[in-house]
Amino acid sequence: MSLDLNPQKIWERYKQALEGLRGNVKQYDCFPKPILTTGMGYPGIWLEHNHDSLFYLRHDPEVSKASHEIFFHFQAEDGLFPAYICKPHGEVTYRIGYGHVQTVYPIAASSWEIAKSTKDEAFLEKAYEACVKYDEWFMKYRNTRGTGLVEMFCEWDTGHDNSARVTDGGIPSCCPDGDSRICPSVDVLPIISTDLTATVYGGRIALAAMAEALNKDNEAALWKEKAEEMKAKLIELCFDEEDEFFYDVDSKGNLRKYKTEHIFRLFINRVLDQDMFDRIYKRYIKSPDHFWTPYPFPSVSISDPSYNSQLKYNSWGGMSQSHTALETLFWMEHYGVSEDMEKVMQIWVKQFTNSHKDFAQEMDPLTGEFSDCAPYFTPSLIAYIEFVDRLYGSEKNKI
């Protein structure tokens, strides 16, 4: 197919992306196997990027597995996975972060896909045990209001840095004393989080599949039941029928009416039935007044009062993120909007191909200009490779 681009330039950029992606595989002193890191802008491996290593599976299954096993290795005794393992430039020791959760696509789901592909039963058993403990951690420490849903304690919990949704009301960046179990003393907290709940829901669906594969049928049935209970409660407490949108709920029971990228995480984890998805998609996602901008998808609806077009560095307050673009592969086909997915892929391929910025993290949703944030960003590299492969298919080798 034609993208109105120089085919040779696409192929050169494709090879550059492959080389950059391989260059982001690092060996850390604190762990015995090479892992896929996030890129030069974020020196380390981050839990919210577990889907990066899932996409890396076709390039190197061992690196893909190791990039999950490092989180199992550093799992806290209470069940919490670290948000990151990193070694900032110039520092001697590694930082292992337990001060926020920062999870998007369930590590149980990516582990399950890797286990199926590699047929590695030992990995499956290890992943299942670790992810069961992780679910238990959320219900013990992030369900303080007893709703059965997951609570947000700080800005970085959801990875939506610099978004008013996770900062308004004096919400701090991370939890006190670097401990995700401690809720800061802020009036609006704890907040029932729609996207963290969606991630735990998706994890339970994956845990059910893992349990079935391990012949734990009773446990599989229990995970399915827990997932359905969580889904029903999420719709009951967080869905605004008039707005046809999901919102967080503050400590006083008030809906925090921000229309942000968090809605996509319900899609990623396939929380919604088709009818509810269609309503939200038509009203907001496909609307040029909200998320269907010239360069989709903005991290905040451009009609939301909190949309910030000025902040252009790691801004989930407005910028279109390659993280979000890559994750469309988890939901757009599933919900029957493949034609729109093709348009999104075309836009990102064209912008990456023509930009003088080397696979940066984010671009302006209205102008298509990339920021200076995080060159050779792993989700950007993977998005380019995956999108070109899908758009060109077998023709790619003829470029």
Domains and CATH numbers, the chain: 7-398 (1.50.10.10)
- CA-nearest of 43, 152, 39, 26 to 381 is 39
Average pLDDT, the chain: 95
pLDDT band at 1 (very low <50, low <70, confident <90, very high): very low
pLDDT band at 40 (very low <50, low <70, confident <90, very high): confident
- CA–CA distance, 387 with 218 (Å, rounded to integer): 40
The Cα angle at residue 231 between residues 207 and 125, in degrees rounded to 5: 5
Contact 361, 41 (CB under 8 A): yes
pTM higher than 0.75 for the full model? yes
- In terms of Cβ atoms closer than 10 Å to its own Cβ (0-12, 13-18, 19+), residue 258 is buried
Q: Is the pLDDT of residue 394 over 60?
A: no
- CA-nearest of 109, 24, 40, 39 to 68 is 109
Q: Is the pLDDT of residue 399 over 80?
A: no
